Amino acid sequence: MVNNSKSEALKFTANFPLHFSQYANLIYSDLDKHVFKNEIRTPKYWNECVLFIIDSYHQDSKVVEFEDKTIFDKQDNNKVVVAFSGGLDSVYQALYLRNNGYDVTLLHVKNMNKYTNGQEAIAAKEFAERFNFNLETVDYHAVSKHKEWNENPFKTSLCYALCLDYCLHTGTRIISSGDDMRLNAVDTDLDNNFGDCKEVTELFFKNFNNITYLPVDDNIHKGMRLEYLSKNNARDYYYSTTTPGRLVKYLHDLNEKKFNVKLDKWCALSDRKDAMHCLLEYYYGDIDYPDNMIEHCWNKIAIGPDKNFFDKHLSLEKRIQNLVDY
């Protein structure tokens, strides 16, 4: 059975009934412009979450709440659904949870990160097949081509709403992701990652009885997560780059030849994210990359608004610590 959801901003289809995501889809649409819609309708259980977003963006929108009495009964099982991008953190969490006795299903929203040009979905499928995970793929399509926010502030919440739908359909009562809940709202960029802050996530799940949100242990930094992937032979199965998907293989092969190294399959070594992961592999893993490649990586991340964290005037020890904390 294929279920469809559609709003002015996007539409998606899934192999399970859609309920919470229908409401989340409309909220996503209402928040999709730099000036939010004048009146935003939301189920009562998300009222505080939506108000927090409106206040944080200094908007004047009015919230109109309504009752949705859908409830989750108590279930005694170890089933968990992971909001799964296929990146480092969600791959780590999926492996960690299963290795610790959970029955894990991965839920991937195809084309939610459009720059990947479908490559992220391929990586998610390859990981699920290689490590024998159940994978639920939701197809996403933007309806409107006019996009004002780089990242809609309700984007992550929409993914969680799809997880709630999956839970309602399957008796799953635990939701997880690659988030470690360390990002505070005051430290976010409103145009990029506000929807990932811990306050939005906490308020999103606050009023759901019998649903548990399980984040990544915040004591496990990214270097340790990469080391865990190495121990589980999974380094070639996480999507590590923000490079446009159509260029990943070309730049991956080009940089392998340039530095005479073997790169992880989805590493193009062409952006800051790639460079950070390679540095973490070098300093915390078992990868002996050549000096000229390490210098290339440090130079790659020592640009942008946060370049002071990685400037060469800092000691190497301090730069590595900043990299871990970043």
Backbone φ/ψ region at 72: left (φ over 0), alpha (ψ -120 to 50), beta: beta
Number of neighbours of residue 14 by Cβ within 10 angstroms: 23
Domains and CATH numbers, the chain: 7-66 (no CATH), 79-214 (3.40.50.620), 240-325 (no CATH)
The predicted structure's pLDDT at residue 142: 66
Of 8, 26, 12, which is closest to residue 63 (Cα–Cα)? 26
Token match 């988030």: residue?
179
Structure token pair of residue 238: 């996480």
Burial class (CB in 10 A: 0-12, 13-18, 19+), 221: buried
Structure token pair of residue 60: 């004047």
The predicted structure's pLDDT at residue 148: 79
The predicted structure's pLDDT at residue 11: 79
The predicted structure's pLDDT at residue 299: 93
Buried b (16+ CB within 10 A) or exposed e, 267-303: bbbbbbbbbbbbbbbbbbbebebeeebbebbbebbbe
d(C-alpha 222, C-alpha 201), whole Å: 20
The predicted structure's pLDDT at residue 303: 86
| Local confidence pLDDT in tens for the 326 residues of the chain | 456 655 555 578 899 999 999 999 999 999 998 999 999 999 999 999 999 999 999 999 999 999 999 999 999 999 999 999 999 999 999 999 999 999 999 999 998 887 788 899 999 999 999 999 999 999 987 655 566 788 999 999 999 999 999 999 999 999 999 999 999 999 998 988 999 999 999 999 999 999 999 999 989 999 999 999 999 999 999 998 889 889 999 999 999 999 999 999 999 999 999 999 999 999 988 789 999 999 999 999 998 777 888 988 899 999 999 988 87
Helix (H) or strand (E) run with residue 39 in it: strand 39-43
